[in-house]
Homo-oligomer: A and B are copies of this chain.
Amino acid sequence: MSVGQGTAAERPTGLRARKKQRTRDDLMRVALQLFTTQGYEATTVDEIVEAVEVSQRTFFRYFASKEDVALAIVSLVEGQFVEQLRTRPPEEGPLCALRAAITEGWARIGETIEDIAPVELVMKAYQMIESTPALLSAHMRRGSETEEEIARIVAEREGLDIERDARPRAAVAAVCGVLRMAGRVWGGPGHETSVEALTALTETYLDALHPSLAGDWRTADGAAEAATCVPDTRPSASLAQDVTFT
């Protein structure tokens, strides 16, 4: 079978391949719709396959688990991040490149998932993932795998041996940790569900990363930057970048 997570992007040639692609996309779309309306746990696999008119066995040949179909959309988005990072100019500093890859990735979310579902539905899916323990669990584990991949890319960019220099992994872990935290806060109460709100929140926390690790929080030093670390009071991206990274 070899579905290969390339859900969109390359257009398959033969009828067989196109059918496969369609079935997979259908399953994802229908699953997402059911999940976001009824809730993840309240939706059974049987309901999904009934709507798409395939057997349950077929479902499990496309997706390893029920979680898998919910997180497939995340894979697409994270894939976009990684691709963005890979194509950043090499003269950029590692943290700068990471930040740019993230913002670019979110900016292009529309194109990334256009074959599957509209952006609003995808953001609803993200909210659902954040608020569904089983999904959040699997999501985070997958994220940690991507993290390792990113660390390798960063190490290579800087010409460092990832096993001998701890900085690539440390930096990536810190950034990804902050990313997770931002997603968590966004998924919580009192926040807009829009992509813009999520990116804004992410940037706020990313901006706070460097100040938070430098100096005494109660006196000078970090204080100036700290003023810009208030969520919902979004500073100019370029300035923040100047302050935070080299």
Binding site for B on A (CB under 8 A): 93-95, 133, 136-138, 140-141, 144, 147-148, 151, 158-160, 163-178, 180-181, 184-185, 204-218, 222, 226, 229-231, 246
- Tell me the bound Cα distance from A246 to B171 in angstroms: 19
- Tell me the bound Cα distance from A175 to B166 in angstroms: 14
28 contacts between A and B (CB under 8 A): A137-B137, A137-B138, A144-B184, A147-B181, A151-B181, A158-B217, A158-B218, A159-B218, A165-B226, A165-B229, A166-B212, A166-B230, A166-B231, A169-B181, A170-B205, A170-B206, A170-B208, A170-B212, A171-B213, A172-B181, A173-B177, A173-B178, A173-B181, A174-B174, A176-B177, A177-B180, A213-B213, A214-B214
- Tell me the bound Cα distance from A177 to B226 in angstroms: 21
Chain B residue contacts of A181, Cβ below 8 A: 147, 151, 169-170, 172-173
Copies held by the complex: 2
Q: Which of B93, B138, B212, B218 sits near A174, CB closer than 8 Å?
A: B212
Most buried by B among A173, A180, A208, A230: A173
| B170 A178 Cβ-Cβ under 8 A | yes
Which residue in chain B gives the minimum CB-CB distance to A93? B216
Chain B residue contacts of A147, Cβ below 8 A: 181
- Tell me the bound Cα distance from A217 to B184 in angstroms: 30
Known A141-B140, A180-B173; contact A215-B168, beta-carbon cutoff 8 A: no
Which residue in chain B gives the minimum CB-CB distance to A158? B217
- Tell me the bound Cα distance from A158 to B169 in angstroms: 28
